[in-house]
Amino acid sequence: MTAAHEAFNKAVDERRAAGRGLPCDSDERFISDVPDERREVVDVCRDRCHLRALCAAAGAREKWGVWGGHDRSTPSVTKTKEKK
Q: What is the pLDDT of residues 4-49, one digit of tens each?
A: 999 999 999 999 999 998 999 889 999 999 999 999 999 888 889 9
Which pLDDT value is given to residue 9?
Answer: 95
Return the closest-CA partner of residue 44 out of 73, 19, 78. Answer: 78
Q: What is the reported pTM? A: 0.80
> Which stretch of DSSP H or E encloses residue 45?
helix 35-48
* 56 has pLDDT over 80: yes
Instruction: Choose between 59 and 81: higher pLDDT.
Output: 59
User: Mean pLDDT over residues 55-83, rounded?
Assistant: 81
Q: What is the pLDDT of residue 6?
A: 96
